[in-house]
Amino acid sequence: MARHLSNTWTAFAAAAAVVAFSAGCSATPAPGTPGSPATGPTGSPYDVLLGDKVGLIDYAEQRLRNACMTAAGYPQNQQAALGSKPGSLFGDLAITAATFGSATEDDARRLGFGADDPGEPARIISFDPNYDTALDRCERAAYDKVGAAAQKTLTSYNDLLNQLMAYRGQVTDQLPKDNPAKTLTCMDGKGFHIPDRDAFLAHPGPDLYGVQGGVLDPAPETTWEPRHVPGTVQVGPAIPARKYHPSSQESALAVAWYQCGNETGRVPQEITIARALQQQYVDKYQTQIEELNPKIEALARSAATLAGN
């Protein structure tokens, strides 16, 4: 059976709040990938989460694991690892102007409802049970070097973050009940008329306007498939960063949607509601946060020494 390798914290990329017009299956990144770029203090209630510390722990663990794998005769992880510095995680949990759509009208015009793809590092797929055994051993050894119960602590932090992410599904339900009708009127005034108004009033979203979506830059690297050869460990090509190109209809709709989001008050209302919900979740899980954060800080100090930072 093939074993696909992934970054420990891939699950914490936050879902987009608006409906994207294009989507595809992305390959799993190889171990060694640092986290998403740091956003710095945002004033968000979720700033209490230690994304920079977790990123450092993850980075140190992967470096130790990859060196162990090389010593075991499997250099693929170390060769595929990208980035020379640890990254901060959870940046998408901050509430910003871009959380619920385009940050600016220019962004709406350039991207429509899509997004540029940052690319992916080389993918590693194993058909070698000896590699799999070595990987399990090296992962355990790496966590043990970082600190006592490191893996258990990170798993608990993972579980906590999954609980905190639930706020995203509650924002729309707390908007004023007349907002969908106001949005319809605003969009009508800008020349965009929806085929099924009742469906929009029940579940408002730009996808219901039925315009043509855009495309990402082509990348032949995305078509790579491993050869199912027992006893092999295969490294697929890295996928380069790609720009998203909206259709002209999508771009125009996104600009109108952005304008109406501000003219009806929806966007500032969403931001206010989201911040309040985050604070409620911080209060609800305060005990877990106060228990886990000191453990994460201690592990991060150890990780900094091990990673040479």
User: Each residue's pLDDT tens digit in the chain (309 positions)?
Assistant: 566 554 444 333 332 222 222 222 323 333 333 333 333 455 789 999 999 999 999 999 999 999 999 999 999 999 887 556 677 788 888 888 788 889 999 999 999 999 999 999 899 999 999 999 999 999 999 999 999 899 999 999 999 999 999 998 899 889 999 999 999 999 999 999 998 999 999 999 999 999 999 999 999 999 999 999 999 999 999 999 999 999 999 999 999 999 999 999 999 999 999 999 999 999 999 999 999 999 999 999 999 999 875
Amino acid identity, residue 173? D
The reported pLDDT for the residue numbered 82 is 59
Q: What is the pLDDT of residue 245?
A: 98
The pLDDT, as a whole number, for residue 98 is: 86
Q: Does any domain span residue 67?
A: yes
The two three-digit tokens of residue 6, written as one number: 């992934």
Q: What is the pLDDT, as a whole number, of residue 183?
A: 96
pLDDT of 97 reads: 78
Whether 103 is covered by a domain: the verdict is yes
CA end-to-end span of the chain, whole Å?
Answer: 38
Domain hosting 82: range is 3-115+122-303
On whether residue 212 sits in a domain, the answer given is: yes
Tell me the CA distances in angstroms from 110 to 104, 116, 123, one per residue in order: 10, 10, 30
SS3 content of the chain, % helix, strand, coil (to 5): 55, 5, 40
Give the pLDDT score at 2. 63
Residue of 243, 216, 254 lying closest to 106 (CA atoms) = 254
The answer to whether the CB of 45 falls within 8 A of the CB of 275 is yes
- Per-residue pLDDT tens digits for 139-177: 999 999 999 899 999 999 999 999 999 998 899 889 999
Neighbours of 188 (CB within 10 A): 13
Q: Specify the pLDDT at position 309.
A: 58
Residue owning tokens 């003219």: 263
Q: Is the pTM of this model over 0.75?
A: yes
Q: Are 160 and 237 in contact (CB under 8 A)?
A: no
Domain count, the chain: 1
Whether 60 is in a domain gets the answer yes
Residue 308 lies in a domain: no
Strand partners, 117: 242
For helices 150-164 and 286-307, angle between their N-to-C axes, nearest 10 degrees: 130
Single-letter amino acid, residue 214: G
Domain presence at residue 309: no
Q: How many CB atoms lie within 10 A of CB 161?
A: 20
How open is the CA angle 303-304-307, to the nearest 5 degrees?
80
Is 85 a member of any domain? yes
Residue 5: per-residue pLDDT: 58
CB atoms within 10 A of CB 29: 22
Write down the pLDDT at residue 29: 33
CA 73 to chain centroid, in Å, comes to 32
